[in-house]
Amino acid sequence: MAMSGNRGPGGMLAEINVTPMVDVMLVLLIIFMVTAPMIDKTEEDKRKVDLELPVTRDNPNQINPEDSDKMILEISRDLKVHIGETLVVDCSAQLEGSEKTRFEPCFDEIELKLGANQKLQDEGEIYLLADTEIPYGFVVGTMARIKKAGIDKLGMVTNPEYLTDDADPEE
């Protein structure tokens, strides 16, 4: 930190060198600008992702879930998980709350029951039909547990019943 100025014969400074102080202030300004967007967000806000899944209408591989003999794991809006008419797990109580691990007991039960289903293990294939209003993390967690249960082929049902023929696909 060099000081400059008019040094007289006695070595006195006539003015103050402000360059180091400006450098420190610029560094602090940059730190403030980088950290300010992160200050107001809660942990829940950081994890949220606004995502609108695409709606497909021109899929040549469309199947009608009611006419298919394949096993379909259906997740309803109230987080009840069914295979056909059989209730696999009811996670509606965990719908409230925001802890990261709130769905873990449901995922454990899904994995356990799918792993114990002999027909499903023999086929090694299942389709997933999830309501569009459920938390995205629940679908992803369910998909991970299906894989952990030893089911290699997982299909997503992309033509749910809310899409009727007269609905406008551009909406």
pLDDT in tens, 129-138: 888 888 888 8
**Distance separating alpha carbons of residues 46 and 30, to the nearest angstrom:** 22
* Residue position matching structure tokens 């000081």: 3
Name the phi and psi angles at 136, rounded to 5: -60, -40
**Distance separating alpha carbons of residues 78 and 36, to the nearest angstrom:** 37
DSSP letters, 64-75, are -TTT--S-EEEE
| pTM reported for the whole predicted model | 0.57
Q: What is the CA radius of gyration of the chain?
A: 29
pLDDT-derived band of residue 169, with 50, 70 and 90 as boundaries?
Answer: very low
